[in-house]
Amino acid sequence: MTPAVVAACETFRDQPLSLFPEEEAMVAQSVEERQREFSTARYCAREALAQLGVRPVPILPGPRGEPRWPTGIVGSMTHCAGYRAAVVAHADDVLALGIDAEPHGPLPDGVLEAVSLPRERRRLTGLVAGWPGICWDRLLFSAKESVYKAWFPLARRPLEFEDADITLDPRTMTLRAELLLPGPVSAGARITAFSGRWLARDGLVATAITVLRDTRPEAQRRLAR
């Protein structure tokens, strides 16, 4: 799901890790489950960073819970029951990354209406009819989460669920998020949409957004392949 310039690590079980003191302090009062997911997500982050030749450093949450990466690095982490993952890249290659994984099951009653646009729900109706084996509502929710994770480091301001219109393509397993408010500017050009990929397997749905620094159309086409 990730282009060659992105390093990734995933695991389906908790991994032992000696946290830095600053990291330990963040979860010292948390329940054991939260400590395990926090620690294993950072295990994945360290493994992914090592692929880029970056030594282990504390990865602390920012004001909105976003991970604060080493200088010159962008990345994203996700965790849900039975799964942890992290992706990282050099900021010279990638502007932002966003990943999210969710259990492959329907959303609780009322959640879809709270997180989606009417036109997104209309498209989901067609997807459910044509491809009934996928929980499209949960996949859309995951895509919204990935879009937010890619958006916030660039814009440094919140993005609400209704601020992006997401289309899921069942044939190419890709997604596109049209931003419904002015996006951040990179190299003099305003970003108006994000592109990414999705999958559904192993009891999970997962989505990934990569915003390349090279915004030329041919670079974006390479990403979509």
Q: What is the pLDDT of residues 38-64, one digit of tens each?
A: 999 999 999 999 999 999 999 999 988
Asked whether the beta carbons of 124 and 164 are under 8 A apart, the reply is no
Structure confidence at residue 224 (pLDDT):
44
Give CA–CA dist 161/79, Å, rounded: 20
| Max intra-chain CA distance, the chain | 51
- In a structure prediction context, what are the per-residue pLDDT tens digits for the chain, which is 225 residues long? 556 789 999 999 999 899 999 999 999 999 999 999 999 999 999 999 999 999 999 999 998 889 999 999 999 999 999 999 999 999 999 999 999 999 999 999 999 999 999 999 999 999 999 999 999 999 999 999 999 999 999 998 999 999 999 999 999 999 999 999 999 888 888 999 999 999 999 999 999 999 998 655 455 444 444
The tokens of 130 are what?
């044509």
Structure confidence at residue 213 (pLDDT):
83
Kindly provide the b/e burial profile for residues 174-206, where b requires at least 16 CB atoms within 10 angstroms of the residue's own CB: bbbbebeeebbeeeeeebeebbbbbebeeebbb
Asked whether the beta carbons of 112 and 24 are under 8 A apart, the reply is no
**Residue 97 DSSP symbol:** E
- What are the structural domains, with CATH classification, of the chain? 7-96 (3.90.470.20), 99-215 (3.90.470)
Say if pTM beats, i.e. exceeds, 0.85: yes
Asked whether the beta carbons of 168 and 191 are under 8 A apart, the reply is no
Give CA–CA dist 69/191, Å, rounded: 22
Burial zone of 40 (CB within 10 Å; 0-12 exposed, 13-18 middle, 19+ buried): buried
Structure confidence at residue 220 (pLDDT):
47
Structure confidence at residue 221 (pLDDT):
47
